[in-house]
Amino acid sequence: MICVALPHFAISAEHGQLTGQGLEGFYRAGRRLLSRCHLRVAGREPLPSQARTTGADQARFVGTLRTPSASGPDPDVMIERTRHADGTERITLHSWASRPLRLPVEVALGTDLADLGAIASGTAGPELPAGVHATGLRWSCADGDSSVTAVPPPADALASAGLLRWELVLPPGTSTSLELRVRSEGAGPVRPVGRGATSPLAPAQAAGDSPGATALLRTSIEDLRALLLRDPAHPADTHLAAGAPWRCGLAPAEALVAARMALPLGTRLATGTLRSLARTQGRGTGPRCGMIPGPRRDAGPHLPAGCTGTEATLLFPVLLAEARRWGLADQATEELLPAAERCLTWLRTTVGDGAYVHEPHPDGPARCETQAHAHRAALLGADLLDACGRPGGPGLREWARHLRTEFQRDFWIDGPGGGRPAAARTPDGCLVPHLGAAAAHLLDTGLLGGGTQAPGLLDAVQTGHLARLLGSPAMDSGWGLRGLAVKEAGYNPFGHRAGAVRVQETAVAVAGLAAAGYESEAGSLLRGVLAAADAFGHRLPEMYAGEQRTEGSTPLPHPAACRPAATAAAAGVLLLTTLAGIRPDVPAGTVTLHPLRSAPLGEIGLTGLRVAEAPFSVRVSRLGMAMVEEAADRLQLGV
């Protein structure tokens, strides 16, 4: 159970005790400030009764205790522990006894002050010796220090045993509490970005026939807020961390993807993300000029690791162009336009006289999803340049037409049932034929003016074949889209890109299938993810096992998945807004709706969204008819 309010997070087992085992503990900026917090009341551990998260940053653990004065088998004391990501834990004892209780309470504390990488690799050192400090204990080492203070102060503080003790008296039917506060000495309190009144994400809500949809949108927004970070040098700019616990920093491609999927919650997150990444962009001359740097990423058993910097560079102009359609201010667009132009210049320079983007450049394969990203960047980038009176649009469109022609010829593998797109094309022209979720990116074409979608790389017939493949049992696990089809060599239901369900790619497939008119396939994948969300308490991990869904089964968690994860949380927003098919064009003063006519979740109303930086609400009926219920005065309903 992970509570997050970056830069803080806490990891707990469901019994509620912090035992010092595994990853358990309170963390700040990747360092474990407290690893052990073991509670005993009247010499015994509470019997665990319930554990649940009550928000992205908070968990509640309830246990019971039967004291010797109890006359029967019923417990007469309830112990409630409320744990916050920021390092605060409140312990409350409720007495149901018929006489006053005198209860000794002990909390054993300890820490190694290890960083997360050392803990994950099993190289964290032993617990450090404690010292008495103020109303609690303190630990220190060469890498930092931490302390725990208690309110009310303990009756005893034993440094040698790392123990705090209280003698509490509870009259019949009363409660009493004590609070522990974990802090990094000298660091000072840090207010998480998502808790401020200036959160860049609108407090949208969903209501209707599907309770799961209501809970998913609420939890998704909570998780996105919990993962918000400020640019240290420019605190007005916020962006999303990739996920907890493993990736609590800025991952350029994931941050752009999540900001794009979260555009229905406003454009401020997109603005902060674009500004932060523009400052990392390569300058000067050479092959990396204009590129946004990013690490390598595993691509599964059939392809070498890919470069997330390539994906981020192609996503940058796309996010800026679409954010402008959602209502990004002209001033912010003009400010970010030079960085987008550098991305587009990098694209044209990298391709040269050829048709394809190879990555890792220049000797790697041409991946199908990379060509989809490049094609979308060229078309939306050309649209952006034209709208801002900048040159280069016609050249980008001409190259996109050339890419489309070449791709349909070079990447399509004919076969039974109509064929399928290749996963990649090697520099010597050989095709990598396996079917995977990366092909879903071919359906994500991007938003142009007037509520229209940009053309894709596939023609109508090829799009139909791909839609049927993505909706087939080989790809649709019943919980979402598998990363690799079940009959492909190297399939592993737990494989990062070899069979596990990645929520981001499933959401991309749902939105793309819906836009292309394949509602049956889109609806099946959507319902599968909603069912998985129910099993995960509506907090979707970035991935989970692609095992086939059967009657009474639940999705299997992936042991290395981030949860919460920025792309999974933002995917919840995209999945639900896809039901209404909201396509704004704020510069033209219109918003167009393309709802799923099959209404796979029944009636649903979405309120508190933002278009043109004003509240926007829409309702989709059980007949698949959409109606705008609230919008900015200057917006007209497009056709």
Question: Mean pLDDT for each 10-residue chunk of the chain (639 residues)?
Answer: 94 95 94 97 95 94 90 90 97 93 96 93 92 94 94 95 95 95 72 67 97 97 96 91 93 97 98 96 86 92 91 98 97 97 96 90 89 98 97 97 97 91 94 96 96 96 97 98 96 94 98 97 98 96 96 94 97 98 97 97 98 97 96 91
Neighbours of 564 (CB within 10 A): 25
Q: How far apart are CA 320 and CA 324, in angstroms?
A: 6
3-state secondary structure of 380: helix
Residue 446 near residue 321 (C-beta atoms within 8 A)? yes
282 Rama sector, left if φ>0, alpha if ψ -120 to 50, beta otherwise? beta
Per-residue model confidence (pLDDT) at position 192: 63
Per-residue model confidence (pLDDT) at position 186: 63
**Close Cβ partners of 637 (under 8 Å, ≥ 6 residues apart):** 590, 591, 592, 593, 628
Residues present in the chain in total: 639
Per-residue model confidence (pLDDT) at position 197: 56
CA angle 408, 411, 414 (to 5 degrees): 85
3-state secondary structure of 154: coil
Q: What are phi and psi of 595, to 5 degrees?
A: -70, 160
Per-residue model confidence (pLDDT) at position 153: 96
User: Contacts from 488-494 at CB under 8 Å and sequence distance 24+?
Assistant: 488/434, 488/435, 488/436, 489/301, 489/302, 489/434, 490/300, 490/301, 490/302, 490/434, 493/545, 493/546, 493/547, 493/556, 494/545, 494/546, 494/556, 494/558
3-state secondary structure of 510: helix
Nearest to 384 by CA among 539, 587, 122, 597: 587
* Predicted structure pTM score: 0.93
